[in-house]
Every structure is written in structure tokens, then in C-alpha cells.
Amino acid sequence: MIGKSTGIILKSGGVAFLIFTFLCIEYIERTFPDFSSSVLREISAVCHDRGTQWIVFLCFGIYFVSFLFFGSYATSAIFWRAANPNLWLVGVFLISTIRYAIDYLPSTQALILMGGMALGQGTALLVIFERKSEQLECRAGFEILVVFWLIFLLMLASSWNFNSSQPFEYHHYARWSGYWDTPNIAGLLMGTGVILAAGQIIRGLMPDAQSRTSEAGSWKFGMGVRLKWIFTALYLVAAILLGRGLLHSYSRGAWIAAICGLSHLIYHGVKSPTFKARNVSCVLGSAQFINWARRNSQILSVIGLSVIVLAFWQFRHLKHEVITSRVISALNVNDFSWRNRIVAWEGALQITAEHPWLGAGWNQPESFYNRYYLPPTVDEGAAIEMNDYLMLGALLGIPALVCFGMYIWFSLSPELGVEGLGQPKKLNGEPDWRQTTCRAGAIVLAVGFWFDGGLFKLATASVFWILLELGRRGFVASSLKSLA
């Protein structure tokens, strides 16, 4: 037990160190230029030089193929199935490689995309080998420690309001940007941390039906079930700090993304038979009320949506509350933020329509948009980088965009997949909550990529690929060859 625990701690610590590096590299470079200048300067030179960047790209590609091969070999699932997310990810890999070979131009976007795919597959391989080494016992120490370190690092960032030389403001209120250049990226990461902490809190409040089967191996490797409540309280503190950072980022896209992730948690929590019977019924009063709400869920949803719309319309002119004003500003026709985004979306769609198969190429959509598609009423074209999905279509074409979308869809919807391709291991008839929590965190970033970007930024991209693979690969015991 001690040897296995040490190995899990070392593996999760390695992943945590990578996450820490990707999250804080911009802050370290700005704050400690003398300490980091020599190392970061060399890395930057290699990554931006035309004669050496292709070597880094090739290494990432080799890592990706190797991790994917060993991971597929360790599972019994058939690779050539439409429901296999890795099949669609290979499509993204092939198209991005072909486009890179055709352009042969240095592109940090290409490196981050390829590196992110390799990082995700490496994380998935660690999870698969961990399940095999544990002989399919009901333990998930690696996943829990990775989520714990991620919440811890994001909680530290939420308490550090670092503003760059050009601070962002909204109605004379400073928008928190944390370690990063923009408050939108900070808001996405804070929202991800909030959802991960909320998932751990809900898991701590789960009845013993699920916790008895795995608590000894999950909560700090057998230190006792009582520690569950201590960690639940710590996660509650983390959620409060992260929620404070999320609100002070004033990022509407991050707020929407966090709501989507929270909805995923609530949906699966309400759907859980044990949680329904022993927790939800107590909170709402009776099981009859829950059944009535389920039967009339569509009507209640329409009523709730109508109330929200009417409230927004009634209080759209309020100015005294900055958060309310920020939310309602989405209804303001004179708000240049969302108007510039829509104009940029139109430009990205036009570029994609003119280059549908392999896209315009790496680094090209931004210059094309500024040169040919930027309206004279708009001063700058940076908004085109705020939607990663349309940017990916403009970069690599429609086939790559479809492959990437299908990969996310099957990864976040494992119940649609075939046996062994990510279906969550069930404990007493319930899906594993750790996997649900990781998927909810990945949903926050996946939704945020539509509004604020982040797929081609180190901090958000690394967290996204890791959570997506943890949510899909976590507790996939049914896919191991030892069961065949």
C-alpha cells in the first residue's frame, strides 16, 4: 500500500508541476525577469525560430502517437469505431500536421495544440496504467490528487490580484486578472476551479452508498473516512475564494461557462438514485414533490426562463450594482464588446468559407481578417481570437473543426460511446462522481472557448486537455484487457 501510494503521489505531483508551470509561466516571466530570462529566452527562441520549431512540433507529435498507441493497446476497445473520441482526435492531428508541413511557418498556436493533445494522451495513459496496477480495485487516488492540486493552485491564483501595466477596468472597478494577461482567461480558470471544488463538495455530501466502496482508497489512502468532512470544508473555502475571483473578473463568458458546468453537476446529482433518495428529498421536503417537479420539468423550465428574461428586461437600466450592470450589458445594443465579437465571427466564417478544406493556415486568419474583413467602424481585429472554434475552422478548415467537435462531444458524453470507450464505472448503480466532476470542469473551458478563447493559451489549454481525459478515462475499468 505504501509503495503504491508513493507512486501515485509522485505521478500526480509530476502532473501538478506541469500544471503549475503552464499556469504561472507568464507571471514568472514578468515578475522575475533576471531569474527566468535565460531559460525562457532560450525556450522562446527555439519555439519561434523557423529552423528549430519543427523539431519541437515533431517531438510533440511523436509523444502524441506513442501515448495514443500504448493507451489503445492497453484497452480492449476497438479503435476504428465512430464513437471512439481518439479516432476523431487523430483526424485533428493529421490535418494540423499536414497544414503545418504545407506552411512551414513558426506558429505557437500549432505547438500549443499539438502539445495539448500529447499532454492529454499522456494523462490518459497514466490513468489506464494506474487502473491496471491496482487490479481494478475501486480506487482513484491519481485522479483525486490531480484535481486537488489543480484546485489548490487555482485557489492561490484567486488570492493574487496581479494587474499588468495595462489594467482592465469596468465602471472604474478593477477586473482581476490573477497571474494572466486578461481577466477573461482568469475568469475561465476561476470558474473551472469553482466547479471542481463544488464537485468535490457534492461528493463529500454523498451518502455512504458510494463512499463506503471507495473511501479507504480515495480519501488520502486509508487515513480514515472522517477526513472526508475536513476535506469537504476545505473545498468549501476554496470554492468561496475561487467564486470571489470569478465574480471580480467580470467575465460574462466565464460566468456562462460556470453556469453550464454547475448545471452538469446538478443534473447528475439529481439523477443519482442514492443522492435523490437521501439528500434531495430531505432538502425539498418529500419525494412526491420531486416526482411532481420531474413530471412538469418542461413547464417549470419555461416559467423559470420567462422570469429571468423579464427580470433582465425590467432591470436593464440599473447602474448602481456593477455585477448586475455587467450581466445586463449583454442586452445593450451599444455594447462594443459583444458587437465586435459578432463581427469577428462573421469574418472567421468568411475565411473558413473561402478555405474550407485545409483552412487559411497557421497564423494567417488574423492577418486576413485585419486586411480584408475588418469593417472600417472597428478599430482592431483582436476579437477574432476570442472564439477558438471558429478560429480552428479558419486555421485548419471545416474537417478539422468537425473532428475536434466530435472528439469533445464523445468525450463529454461517454454514455453515447461503445463499451470500453469511456463509460464510467458504476458503484452500486451510480456513475463515478470523480469522472462527472472532471467532465464538468472541462465543460466550463469548452463553453468558455466560444466566448473568450483559450485553446491556444498554455494556462487554459493544459487544464482543458487534462480534465477532458480524466473525465473520460477516469475509472474506465471495463476497458482494460484484464477483463477480456
Q: Is 5 exposed, middle or buried (0-12, 13-18, 19+ CB in 10 A)?
A: middle
The rounded distance, in Å, linking the Cα atoms of 95 and 251 is 33
Mean pLDDT of 222-246: 79
Nearest-5° Cα angle at 409, 441 to 295: 80
313-368 confidence digits (pLDDT tens): 655 555 446 666 666 666 666 666 777 788 888 889 999 999 999 999 898 888 88
Pairing verdict, β 169-170 and 173-174: antiparallel
- What is 91-157 written as a DSSP string? HHHHHHHHHHHHH----HHHHHHHHHHHHHHHHHHHHHHHHHHTTT-S--HHHHHHHHHHHHHHHHH
CA distance 117 to 110: 11
- pTM attached to this predicted model: 0.84
pLDDT in tens, 247-268: 888 888 899 999 999 998 888 8
Quick check: 283 pLDDT over 50?
no
State the pLDDT at residue 284. 45
Q: What is the mean pLDDT of residues 278-307?
A: 61
Please enumerate in sequence order all residues whose Cβ is within 8 A of that of 60, keeping only pairs 6 or more positions apart, or say none: 111, 114, 115, 117, 118
Q: Where are the domains of the chain?
A: 2-483
87-146 confidence digits (pLDDT tens): 999 999 999 999 999 988 888 899 999 999 999 999 888 887 766 555 444 445 677 888
